[in-house]
Amino acid sequence: MASYYRTFMDSFWSERIWLPPNTTWADIAPESSSEIQHADYRHLFYPLPMALLMLLLRYCLEKYWFAPVGMSLGIKNTRPKKAPQNPVLEKAYTHSKRWKHKEIQGLAKQTDMTERQVERWLRLRKGQNKPTILTKFCENSWRCLYYSFSFIYGITILWDKSWLWDISECWNGFPHQSVTSDIWWYYMVSLSFYWSLCVSQFFDVRRKDFWQMFIHHIAAILLMSLSWMVNVFRIGCLVLVVHDSADIFLEGAKMAKYAGYQKLCDAIFAILTVLWILTRLVIYPFWIIRNTSIDAPKVVPMFPAYYIFNSLLILLLVLHCFWTYLLLKIAYNSLKAGQMEGDIRSSSDDYSEESKSQ
């Protein structure tokens, strides 16, 4: 069994797949040069314990900072009235949370209740599983804080890098490029954040795009990890900074909405819509993906890893198109209603109820 595993790993990590022609893993090993500090693949284990620390930091900030601030803004932490105990209805609810009219009629007969009473019980029972508005506010506050920090730090450390202003410089001297300490921290903290999201997503507010977000997190981790191993971290940094900019306003719009500042929410949402389309559907595909798929092979000889990296980048672009559709749908409904209605990446229950009320 061990021999099969070793054969598979040797084939998977073949230098012919991941490295340019005439380059070996030994050539880009950390100790291969005294002048160039290559990325060390062993450092990819650091984000795992760092992710646990990030989850702990999030818990402390939400409990001792975001929650008190939210309550001072008048955000309630109360849950809806609980549904009366009813074993028959509870059993049916456990089996399926969506009841057809015939099922409601049958349950009404079994429980000696009216159909309206059964429907009311179902609404109350669904409400018990919904997180409070304060919980949502704290969750968005954490992400807004992180994205703000990440974007500001990313712009600060990249400002004096030639490859921020001329993306073709990302391939100058590749794969023999030094990792500076600021880039190291940028990558490690970003990786730890996405690892923490993979865990917290199963405990956070359940959203209608749960699996799309999970795929996004896994694709982001794969891109950063693989780009670190083969020294494509320059492009990785550009991808991170482009993505973080719009996410700040995405989370900020939700915070303003939950706090009851509708005009502020509308203003932030307008900025978000423009910035999202500019960064996710213009800069990202026509600046980054165009460079990695068309310009890079003109500088560095083609090797199979091009297809792997570009496939992951295009996967993110497909997800961007999906979220842009949701964003524009909300923008359209907002213009009709006169204010922002709905919530991109909101929970499915909230979204359906808001859609019914429009």
CB 44 within 8 A of CB 123: no
* pLDDT number for residue 348: 37
Confidence of residue 338 (pLDDT cuts 50, 70, 90): low
CB 175 within 8 A of CB 231: yes
Terminal-to-terminal C-alpha distance of the chain: 60
Higher model confidence: residue 271 or residue 207? 271
The two structure tokens encoding residue 192: 């730890």
* pLDDT number for residue 339: 55
**Does the structure show a pLDDT above 50 at 185?**
yes
Mean pLDDT of the chain: 88
**Does the structure show a pLDDT above 50 at 257?**
yes
Predicted TM-score (pTM) of the model is: 0.85
- H or E element that contains 287: none
Q: Which residues of 144-154 are buried (b: 16+ CB within 10 A; e: fewer)?
A: bbbbbebbebb
Residue carrying structure tokens 């297809």: 307
Higher model confidence: residue 338 or residue 68? 68
CB 75 within 8 A of CB 213: no
CB 183 within 8 A of CB 231: no
Q: Once rounded to an integer, what is the mean pLDDT over residues 178-184?
A: 96
Higher model confidence: residue 91 or residue 19? 19
Select from 117, 128, 85, 119 the least CA-distant residue to 99: 119
* pLDDT number for residue 333: 82
The two structure tokens encoding residue 153: 């730090």
Q: Once rounded to an integer, what is the mean pLDDT over residues 166-175?
A: 93
**Does the structure show a pLDDT above 90 at 273?**
yes
* pLDDT number for residue 350: 42
The two structure tokens encoding residue 70: 């939210």
Q: Which residues of 308-326 are buried (b: 16+ CB within 10 A; e: fewer)?
A: bbeebbebbbebbeebbeb
Domain boundaries, the chain: 26-73+131-343, 87-128
Architecture of domain 87-128: Orthogonal Bundle (1.10)
CA distances from 352 to 94, 170, 221, 346, 356 (A): 20, 45, 31, 10, 6
Strand ranges for the chain from DSSP E: none
Higher model confidence: residue 71 or residue 118? 71
Among 14-28, 45-59, 84-98, 151-165, where is mean pLDDT lowest? Answer: 84-98
Q: What is the pLDDT of residues 117-135, one digit of tens each?
A: 888 888 887 777 778 899 9
Confidence of residue 343 (pLDDT cuts 50, 70, 90): low
* pLDDT number for residue 247: 95
Helix 233-259 × helix 133-158 angle, to 10°: 150
Distance, CA of 279 to CA of 116 (rounded, Å):
49
* pLDDT number for residue 28: 93
